[in-house]
Amino acid sequence: MNYFWVISAKRLKQGVTLALALLFAAGVVYAESENMQVFLPVDSGPSAIYSVQTDKKQVALTFDISWGEERTGPILDVLEQKGLKKATFFLSSPWAESHPDLVKRIQDMGFEIGSHGHRHDNYSSYNEEQIRTQILKADQILKELTGKKPTLIRFPNGDFDKRVLKIADQLGYKTIQWDTDSLDWTNPGKDRIVKRVLDKAHPGDIILMHASDSCRQTHEALPEIIDGLRAKGYEFVTVSELISGTEVKSKAVE
């Protein structure tokens, strides 16, 4: 007995269409094989840390110091009066070298010290040898003053590129930025500084403030910022404590 398979014209058309689609897809994959890495995870290298993703109501107050001697003392006084024992200071090494007494007070109060580089300049404008020299100069000076090598760095003006990040990483540093800029450096008035920080602060936030002489209102705003954040249930920690064991928020660098 003979058996015949009867294929409908509709089913035949579907089969041919599918075969053509698969053939076309194979051709695309072959033609684009050199570009397939675009769709795969790639190692983008070191990145700067802006905040961490956490449900804990923790924030890190950070202070940059690059020059002057009139504002740091009053800021430390406020922190002492408020019983705040956790903060991170990023020190420019020429300033630190000129003010060893203030560096010692910062350290004796238990605050974390990070590097703010040597020359206060945009390091992305330097060649790689110059970048390395600036980081290492600050490293040496801060280590001599504190007896401890810094492991965090915030570059002057918050400026960096991929080369800067890579060299800092090679030298054992994590690059720290911020998610909330208090804008105290613009001297907009105490109330505006307070409102900005309290409005923008969030769990895992790194808050940027300054203790240089150019920032004339920081010490006035600081008591209300500390009280306001505490009233919202926030705990103050160092940057190192904040980023330890948590998922950090970074941004792509061109």
Strands 174-175 and 152-153: parallel
pTM comes to: 0.81
Q: In whole angstroms, give the CA distance from residue 153 to residue 139.
A: 10
Question: Is 1 a residue whose pLDDT tops 80?
Answer: no
Integer angstrom CA distances of residue 92 from 57, 63, 119: 30, 11, 8
pLDDT at position 128 is: 98
pLDDT at position 45 is: 83
Catalytic positions, written as ranges: 64, 210
Question: Is 118 a residue whose pLDDT tops 70?
Answer: yes
Tell which wins on pLDDT, 40 or 74: 74
Q: In whole angstroms, give the CA distance from residue 48 to residue 74.
A: 30
| pLDDT tens track for 39-68 | 333 446 899 999 999 999 999 999 999 999
